């Protein structure tokens, strides 16, 4: 471990009319036959298309645990997410409210405060509650941790102490099962989020077809579902199990790669399987939204539900009430606006008619056109007007408290996962229709997906900048692509370009400072880091790098305040703590050096390659 050197950036079931519509108050539905479940297991599998699961007709699927659940329980054939984006979709799932009512309109935008969720309601009802997630978009800072006794959103760190932005499902399930063993006989709600099969899929360098690697990751998620079911032990028979996805994935349909840009069914349709007490075998063929899950499971568990947008699914077919008049299923995406400065999209469907509110509106007859290829908005203006009014009713919801602003550090971590590609439009700029920019968006998605590496990644970024010279994200990524292969000379102009675009993060400054430092231009690097501290005041990585460079100068003691501030904000910046221990030791303060070196040794995992060097420092200071 070096003392200096910059840290790297790097059914015929119907719905009862018991639940009100948007903002409505649910009444009590007639009790279902059989005892209520004692426990609830909710599993959300990120980015899982319904049509890649065996129970949904995909012959090559390797999903035996999902298929076994489906064979013994309910399968919703027409289930849809409220947003094709991870955080908004999960917020709708857990609150039973559409995004306009919960406020988490995009990744990085926190839910409104004080909203009831499955966790808060079940905790109040005496349940032990545990939530365990696998990716940063669901970090506790965004509001989903409320009501959970334990919320597992901490994952491994790189050698320099940087937190990862995702973790393998196996690690998440390990943590969830360890918590499960502590709950004893208490009623339990366990939510587990698996990030497989989110892009990039498997080993991109293997050269295997993308679709095969996607299926591999689905198979891994299925294996982890099996581990969870087995881990329930004797409680399995009393557990209501719900497995679904936050959204699907596009592989070129409608010109989209990935998800979040459009609200076509490619990315909105999700699997929804419910098995356990009160869940009869069969299919639910009516329209189902993920906002229906929360009121339904609360009803089946015998727990009173707060006001929600969703409807209660009848568990045994006893309730054959028709869908309430005017009942629509709503979805939206703010990603086009947040990522590119284009128009957000909103959609509703009733029956087999779907309307998308966009600069150029779209209307589809899904019974005749499941692929959403023929726009009937001009020909069926009455239907378009009716459904547009339905969107206005849903959008009129108000969040109880203001959502938190997205911090630069959170923006950087979301960008690392392929979200938040741009800085938004200038005030007064007309908003483009995303479908008119799909070619550019697809090229950007290919870059952010992680599917391109090495020369192919650089070529794609170079082509994007040729067409869109002012794109700061492309410049930033190209700068890092070149720096990572040792071409700092070629990287620095792109870092400078991104800095000139006034990006709201210090990422470009860190890249440029790293290259300047490697070239021995330390005073320039420090000036760049000082500018970074203005862009992101208090960023612990910037502070740590300011300290690291100063530690090798003529006045190493000047590094101490920077390193101490960095560690106060993020105690697991290991390189910074090692450097601080060395600076103290060189200044003759052996006690302080020993304190920091011992703390670092305690924080490093048993197999960390840095442990021997840190152990030698501890021994030398004793």
For 111-127, write each residue's pLDDT tens digit: 988 999 999 999 999 99
C-alpha torsion angle, residues 167, 169, 171, 177 (rounded to 10): 140
Residue spans in the chain of domains classed CATH 3.40.720.10: 39-317
Quick one: pLDDT at residue 3? Answer: 42
Band (pLDDT 50/70/90 cuts) for residue 168 is: very high
Mean pLDDT of the chain: 86
Q: How far apart are CA 502 and CA 28, in angstroms?
A: 54
Q: How far apart are CA 597 and CA 223, in angstroms?
A: 40
Does the pLDDT of residue 360 top 90, yes or no? yes
pLDDT tens profile 425-481 = 555 567 889 999 888 888 888 887 778 888 989 999 999 888 888 788 889 989 999
Bridge partners, 355 (sequence order): 348, 363
Bridge partners, 269 (sequence order): 80
Residue spans in the chain of domains classed CATH 1.25.40.10: 452-537, 538-622
| pTM (predicted TM-score) | 0.80
CB atoms within 10 A of CB 234: 6
Architecture, CATH, for domain 538-622: Alpha Horseshoe (1.25)
Quick one: pLDDT at residue 50? Answer: 97
Residue written as token pair 């006893």: 318
Cβ-contact 7, 162 below 8 angstroms: yes
Quick one: pLDDT at residue 408? Answer: 60
Phi-psi map region of 311: left, alpha, beta (phi>0 left; psi -120 to 50 alpha): beta
Band (pLDDT 50/70/90 cuts) for residue 110 is: confident
Q: How far apart are CA 604 and CA 619, in angstroms?
A: 16
The proportion of the chain whose per-residue pLDDT surpasses 70, expressed as a percent, equals: 86
Cβ-contact 266, 256 below 8 angstroms: yes
Q: How far apart are CA 130 and CA 152, in angstroms?
A: 8
3-state secondary structure of 287: coil
Query: Out of 3.40.640.10, 3.40.720.10, 3.40.710.10, 3.40.50.300, which CATH number does the structure's domain 39-317 have?
Result: 3.40.720.10
Architecture, CATH, for domain 452-537: Alpha Horseshoe (1.25)
Q: How far apart are CA 36 and CA 281, in angstroms?
A: 16
Does the pLDDT of residue 19 top 50, yes or no? no
Length reported for the chain: 622
Q: How far apart are CA 98 and CA 348, in angstroms?
A: 12
Bridge partners, 75 (sequence order): 273, 283
Quick one: pLDDT at residue 338? Answer: 81
Mean pLDDT of 375-394: 96
The closest alpha carbon to 317, from 282, 361, 369, 266, belongs to: 282
Quick one: pLDDT at residue 608? Answer: 80
Q: How far apart are CA 445 and CA 364, in angstroms?
A: 26
Greater pLDDT, 4 or 443: 443
Does the pLDDT of residue 577 top 90, yes or no? yes
Q: How far apart are CA 542 and CA 119, in angstroms?
A: 37
Q: How far apart are CA 531 and CA 533, in angstroms?
A: 5
Quick one: pLDDT at residue 166? Answer: 86
The closest alpha carbon to 219, from 242, 203, 200, 196, belongs to: 196
Does the pLDDT of residue 316 top 90, yes or no? no
Mean pLDDT of 512-536: 94
Quick one: pLDDT at residue 345? Answer: 96
């Amino acid at each position: 471990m070096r003392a200096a050197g910059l840290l790297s950036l790097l059914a015929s079931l119907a719905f009862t009319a018991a639940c009100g519509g948007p903002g409505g108050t649910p009444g009590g539905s007639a009790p279902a036959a059989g005892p209520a479940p004692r426990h609830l297991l909710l599993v959300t599998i990120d980015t899982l298309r319904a049509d890649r699961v065996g129970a949904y007709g995909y012959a090559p699927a390797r999903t035996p645990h999902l298929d076994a659940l489906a064979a013994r329980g309910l399968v919703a054939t027409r289930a849809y997410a409220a947003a094709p984006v991870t955080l908004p979709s999960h917020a709708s799932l857990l609150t039973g409210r559409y995004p306009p009512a919960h406020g988490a309109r995009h990744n990085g935008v926190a839910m409104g405060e004080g909203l009831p969720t499955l966790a808060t309601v079940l905790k109040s009802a005496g349940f032990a509650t545990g939530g365990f997630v696998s990716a940063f978009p669901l970090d506790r800072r965004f509001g989903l941790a409320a009501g959970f006794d334990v919320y597992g959103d901490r994952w491994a760190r790189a050698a320099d102490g940087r937190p990862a932005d995702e973790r393998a499902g196996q690690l998440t399930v390990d943590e969830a099962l360890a918590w499960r063993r502590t709950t004893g006989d208490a009623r339990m709600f366990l939510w587990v989020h698996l990030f497989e099969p989110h892009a990039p899929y498997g080993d991109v360098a293997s050269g295997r077809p993308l679709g095969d690697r996607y299926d591999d990751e689905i198979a891994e998620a299925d294996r982890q579902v099996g581990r969870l079911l087995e881990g329930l032990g004797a409680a399995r028979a009393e557990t209501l199990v719900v497995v679904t996805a936050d959204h699907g994935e596009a592989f070129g349909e409608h010109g989209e790669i990935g998800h979040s840009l459009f609200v076509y069914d490619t990315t909105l349709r999700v699997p929804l399987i419910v098995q356990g007490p009160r869940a009869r075998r069969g299919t639910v063929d009516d329209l189902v939204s993920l906002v229906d899950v929360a009121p339904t499971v609360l009803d089946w568990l015998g727990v009173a539900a707060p006001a929600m947008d969703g409807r209660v699914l009848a568990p045994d077919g006893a309730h054959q009430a028709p869908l309430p008049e005017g009942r629509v299923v709503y979805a939206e995406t703010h990603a086009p606006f947040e990522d590119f400065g284009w128009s957000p999209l909103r959609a509703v469907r009733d029956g087999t008619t779907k309307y998308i509110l966009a600069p150029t509106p779209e209307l589809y007859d899904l019974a005749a056109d499941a692929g959403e290829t023929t726009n009937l908005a001009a020909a069926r203006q009455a239907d378009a007007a009716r459904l547009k009014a339905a969107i206005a009713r849903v959008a009129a919801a108000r969040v109880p408290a203001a959502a938190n602003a997205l911090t630069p550090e959170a923006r950087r971590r979301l960008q690392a996962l392929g979200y938040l590609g741009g800085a938004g439009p200038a005030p007064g700029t007309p908003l483009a229709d995303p479908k008119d920019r799909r070619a550019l968006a697809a090229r950007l998605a290919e870059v952010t997906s992680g599917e391109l590496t090495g020369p192919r990644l650089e070529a794609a970024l170079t082509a994007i900048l040729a067409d869109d010279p002012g794109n700061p994200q492309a410049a930033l990524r190209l700068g890092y692509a070149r720096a990572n292969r040792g071409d700092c000379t070629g990287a620095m102009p792109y870092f400078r370009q991104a800095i000139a675009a006034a990006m709201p993060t210090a990422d470009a400054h860190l890249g440029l400072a790293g290259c300047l430092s490697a070239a021995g231009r330390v005073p320039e690097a420090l000036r760049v880091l000082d500018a970074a501290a203005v862009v992101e005041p208090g960023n612990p990585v910037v502070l740590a790098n300011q300290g690291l460079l100063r530690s090798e100068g003529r006045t190493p003691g000047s590094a101490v305040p920077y390193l101490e501030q960095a560690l106060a904000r993020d105690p697991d910046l290991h390189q910074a703590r090692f450097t601080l221990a060395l600076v103290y030791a060189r200044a003759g303060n052996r006690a302080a050096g020993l304190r920091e070196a011992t703390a670092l040794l305690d924080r490093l995992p048993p197999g960390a390659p840095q442990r021997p060097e840190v152990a030698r420092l501890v021994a030398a200071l004793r």
